[in-house]
Homo-oligomer: A and B are copies of this chain.
């Protein structure tokens, strides 16, 4: 029997925050913005849960920081693969999901592809004056 999902104030707050935000957010950013309305550990657990539920996905930047974004364009259900690319602005630091599909990659013989994570570093439209 699959675990039941519950909606709590903290979880809703995180979802709301990710919904409103134009950029993906890190655990620290989310936690600070919540102004200690809930525990640091709780934020970790909410984020883990959102990912497990397929409501959010993780984005790992080149320096190792991890950001979270809601899954919107992601295919729902079994084939929940975030096959869109991410953009990390080197100026404003913003990270966003782009609609663009990830191009097909060629793998050596016998390698089996599961999913692809692609982050483009550069200058975003807002910063590119």
* A 79-114 binary contact with B (CB < 8 Å = 1; else 0): 000000101001000000010101111111111111
A118 lies within 8 A of chain B by Cβ? yes
Query: Closest CB-CB distance, A53 to chain B, in whole Å?
Result: 17
Given the interface pairs A117-B119, A121-B116, the reply to whether A100 lies near B110 with Cβ below 8 Å is no
Interface size class of A (residues with CB under 8 A): 35 or more
- The one of B87, B104, B118, B119 in contact with A111, judged by C-beta atoms closer than 8 angstroms, is B87
CB–CB A107/B87 < 8 A = yes
Kindly list chain B residues whose C-beta atoms are within 8 Å of the C-beta of A102. Answer: 105
Supply 5 A–B pairs (Cβ within 8 Å), ascending by A. Answer: A58-B64, A60-B61, A64-B65, A100-B105, A103-B105
